[in-house]
């Protein structure tokens, strides 16, 4: 049965990697932030699978709530688009 | 060119090392079935009520505030320094703060519609109740000061988004009040870690001497207040619109 | 099977950490750098928690409950030490984010750019 936990973890980590790669490639910063929030949500699920309820409580509030709001504020005060090379 | 080659080579070495660690040696200790001796000590002593106990069934909170208390204490100070660094960059003196409030008040006032406001009120009350439960039962159920504080900061952010910051400041949530509450939380933490020295003649942070779980409870409440109002302070000053700040900076340059 | 899954998870997490470092090194926007720094921190935290995981079923969080005996709790509970370390790291990481974002915003106010290439040109212009 422990394989089931590890399989869920594999899916979570793979989606997290894919979304963080997409976030790195994205030039619109708001879209990049949304993609990295999706990655954070998957990782919160992963922390739950790893039997860490304390981390889930702190991580959900910070990585999906406060951090997103902070970076949206920063983007609204600076530039929205990243200039490519 | 040489630098690029060095970077690439170091990456390769890192990859080889990782493959070795993960597959051959298992140095990280992934996937074991036994407990490490250190964590066995923590797990068996946290709720034992004798010896080096901390009277808490929640082992993570016991480690965070009792067994590794100095670590968390100094992390609280790192948090404090980061917040104060942000504040000292974005600081406004009293006249400038008044000026900013005037400018914001003169701004045309946009209102969210009734449904959003009513739903936000409901949800915010729920989040505040849940965060208080997380923080105050931190030594019994999953949770603690850090978790409750960050949930509470999210509730305040929801209020900022649904109502305006100006409305909240008029209702009394000003920068002065949040900083005072932050200081009160830090003072509660300091009082709790100094209480064993003053009352029982023990050492700093020896909260086992306090009756029952008072030490853990007090430290959790202090951390809850500190984290909540630390985040809130920064968001209050970051929420000032950019054109107000530009106006103030221009006035500072002209003076 | 189990060791293969563990190896896959940990190699993906290492790769994600390296992706974060790569993003911090190559992206030129400061806000983008902060986002990638968080990706790196998340990967490291997850790996750290994974070290404390135990391959027993059912596995319990490190919280003592009344309906299980003490020996069963010791046999089934995961390692609490990495959780306690990561818990503070998450919150302190947020405080560091606040500080870095503040620096970026203030730099934009003073110089009108958050691009490191423009910063490099400014520095070069100062030297000449």
Q: What is the pLDDT of residue B241?
A: 84
Average pLDDT over residues B101-109: 79
DSSP secondary structure letter of residue B230: H
Split into its structural domains, chain C has a count of 1
Model confidence band, residue B28 (pLDDT cutoffs 50, 70, 90): low
What is the SS3 assignment for B58?
strand
Q: The CATH number of the domain where C28 resides is what?
A: 1.10.287.3510
Q: What is the pLDDT of residue B128?
A: 93
Assess whether pLDDT exceeds 70 at residue A58. Answer: yes
Model confidence band, residue C104 (pLDDT cutoffs 50, 70, 90): very high
C83 burial type by CB count under 10 A (0-12 exposed, 13-18 middle, 19+ buried) = buried
CA of B47 vs chain C CAs: smallest distance (Å): 8
Inspect the interface and report whether the beta carbons of A57 and B134 lie closer than 8 Å.
yes
Q: What is the pLDDT of residue B124?
A: 94
Question: For residue B197, how many C-alpha atoms fall within 13 Å in the half-sphere facing its CB?
Answer: 8
Count of other CB atoms within 10 angstroms of residue B20: 12
d(CA C40, CA C37): 5
Assess whether pLDDT exceeds 80 at residue A16. Answer: yes
Residue C118's contacts (CB-CB under 8 Å, 6 or more residues apart) are C111
Q: What is the pLDDT of residue B27?
A: 62
- A36 in contact with chain C, both atoms CB, cutoff 8 A: yes
Q: Residue holding tokens 């109740």?
A: B129
Model confidence band, residue C39 (pLDDT cutoffs 50, 70, 90): very high
Phi, then psi, of A28 in degrees rounded to 5: -80, 115
Assess whether pLDDT exceeds 80 at residue C32. Answer: yes
Inspect the interface and report whether the beta carbons of A66 and B143 lie closer than 8 Å.
no
Quote the domain boundaries for residue C20: 2-127
d(CA B216, CA B55): 9
Query: What angle do helix axes C2-26 and C30-51 make, rounded to 10 degrees?
Result: 160
Assess whether pLDDT exceeds 70 at residue B5. Answer: no
d(CA B202, CA A61): 37
Instruction: Give the pair of three-digit tokens for residue B91.
Output: 């600081």
Q: Where are the domains of chain B?
A: 55-254
CA B116 to the chain's CA centroid: 28
Return the partners of chain B (3 or more C-beta pairs < 8 Å). Answer: A, C
Give the tens place of pLDDT for each residue, B54-83.
Answer: 888 888 888 888 888 899 999 999 999 999
More confident site: C118 or B23: C118
Assess whether pLDDT exceeds 70 at residue B9. Answer: no
What mean pLDDT, rounded, does chain B reach?
85
Q: Are C98 and B235 in contact (CB under 8 A)?
A: no
Q: What is the dihedral of CA B172, A62, A72, B166, to 10 degrees?
A: -10
Of B11, B71, B79, the CB nearest to C91: B79
Count of other CB atoms within 10 angstroms of residue B68: 17
Chain B residues inside the 8 Å CB shell of A51: none
Give the tens place of pLDDT for each residue, B174-192.
Answer: 888 999 999 999 999 999 9
More confident site: B7 or B80: B80
Model confidence band, residue B224 (pLDDT cutoffs 50, 70, 90): very high
Of B142, B153, B242, the CB nearest to A66: B153
Ranges B184-188, B242-246, C53-57, most confident: B184-188
Average pLDDT over residues B203-228: 88
CA distances from C66 to B14, B135, B140, B243, C72 (A): 46, 21, 11, 58, 11
- C83 in contact with chain B, both atoms CB, cutoff 8 A: yes
Interface predicted TM-score (ipTM) over 0.85: yes
d(CA B253, CA C86): 44
Count of other CB atoms within 10 angstroms of residue C74: 13
Model confidence band, residue B23 (pLDDT cutoffs 50, 70, 90): low
CA distances from B76 to B79, B128, B219, B230, C23 (A): 5, 22, 11, 11, 29
Give the tens place of pLDDT for each residue, C58-86.
Answer: 888 888 888 888 888 888 888 899 999 99
Give the tens place of pLDDT for each residue, B141-178.
Answer: 888 889 999 999 999 889 888 888 888 888 888 888 99
Assess whether pLDDT exceeds 90 at residue C55. Answer: no
Inspect the interface and report whether the beta carbons of C95 and B14 lie closer than 8 Å.
no
Comparing CA positions, the residue from A1, C43, A56, C126 lying closest to residue B143 is: A56
Assess whether pLDDT exceeds 80 at residue C109. Answer: yes
Give the tens place of pLDDT for each residue, B35-58.
Answer: 888 888 888 888 887 778 888 888
Instruction: Give the pair of three-digit tokens for residue C80.
Output: 């609490």
Q: Mutation test of the interface with chain C: which of B35, B153, B216, choosing the one with the most C Cβ atoms within 10 A?
A: B35
Q: What is the pLDDT of residue B24?
A: 64
Chain A residues inside the 8 Å CB shell of B135: none
- A3 in contact with chain B, both atoms CB, cutoff 8 A: no
Nearest chain B residue (CA) to A57: B147
Chain C residues inside the 8 Å CB shell of A6: 2, 5-6, 9
Q: What is the pLDDT of residue C14?
A: 84
Inspect the interface and report whether the beta carbons of B151 and A66 lie closer than 8 Å.
no
Inspect the interface and report whether the beta carbons of B28 and C65 lie closer than 8 Å.
no
| pTM of the model as a whole | 0.88
Model confidence band, residue A45 (pLDDT cutoffs 50, 70, 90): very high
What is the SS3 assignment for C77?
strand
- B154 in contact with chain A, both atoms CB, cutoff 8 A: yes
Of C35, C52, C57, the CB nearest to A23: C35
Nearest chain A residue (CA) to B238: A73
């Amino acid at each position: 049965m422990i394989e089931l936990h590890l399989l869920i973890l594999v899916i979570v980590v793979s989606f997290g990697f894919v979304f963080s790669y997409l976030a790195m490639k994205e030039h619109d910063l708001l879209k990049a932030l949304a993609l990295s929030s999706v990655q954070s949500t998957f990782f919160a699920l992963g922390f739950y699978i790893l039997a860490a309820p304390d981390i889930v409580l702190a991580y959900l509030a910070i990585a999906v709530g406060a951090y997103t709001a902070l970076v949206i504020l920063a983007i609204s005060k600076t530039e929205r688009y990243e200039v490519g090379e | 060119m040489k630098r690029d080659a060095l970077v690439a080579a170091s990456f390769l070495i890192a990859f080889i090392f990782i493959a070795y660690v993960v597959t051959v040696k298992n140095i990280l200790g992934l996937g074991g079935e036994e407990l490490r001796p250190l964590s066995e000590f923590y797990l068996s002593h946290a709720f034992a009520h004798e010896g080096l106990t901390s009277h808490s069934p929640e082992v993570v909170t016991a480690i965070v505030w009792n067994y590794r208390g100095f670590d968390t204490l100094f992390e609280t100070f790192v948090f404090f320094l980061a917040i104060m660094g942000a504040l000292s960059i974005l600081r406004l003196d009293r006249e400038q703060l008044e000026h900013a409030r005037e400018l914001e008040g003169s701004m045309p006032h946009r209102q969210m519609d009734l449904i959003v406001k009513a739903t936000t009120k409901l949800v915010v009350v729920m989040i505040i109740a849940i965060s208080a439960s997380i923080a105050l039962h931190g030594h019994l159920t999953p949770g603690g000061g850090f978790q409750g504080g960050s949930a509470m900061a999210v509730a305040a952010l929801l209020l900022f988004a649904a109502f305006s910051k100006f409305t909240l400041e008029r209702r009394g949530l000003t920068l002065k009040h949040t900083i005072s509450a932050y200081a009160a939380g830090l003072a509660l933490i300091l009082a709790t870690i100094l209480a064993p020295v003053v009352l029982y003649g023990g050492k700093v942070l020896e909260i086992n001497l306090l009756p029952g779980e008072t030490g853990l409870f007090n430290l959790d409440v202090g951390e809850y207040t500190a984290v909540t109002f630390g985040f809130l302070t920064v968001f209050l000053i970051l929420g000032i619109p950019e054109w107000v700040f530009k106006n103030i900076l221009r006035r500072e340059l002209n003076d | 099977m189990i060791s293969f899954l563990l190896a896959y998870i940990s190699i993906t997490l290492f790769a994600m950490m390296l992706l974060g470092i790569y993003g911090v090194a190559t992206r030129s926007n400061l806000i983008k750098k902060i986002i990638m720094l968080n990706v790196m921190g998340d990967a490291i935290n997850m790996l750290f928690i994974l070290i404390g995981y135990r391959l027993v079923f059912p596995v319990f969080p490190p919280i003592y409950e009344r309906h299980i005996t003490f020996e069963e709790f010791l046999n089934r509970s995961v390692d609490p030490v990495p959780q306690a370390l990561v818990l503070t790291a998450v919150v302190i990481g947020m405080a560091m984010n606040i500080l870095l974002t503040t620096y970026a915003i203030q730099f934009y106010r003073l110089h009108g750019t958050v691009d490191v290439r423009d910063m490099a040109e400014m520095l070069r212009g100062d030297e000449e």
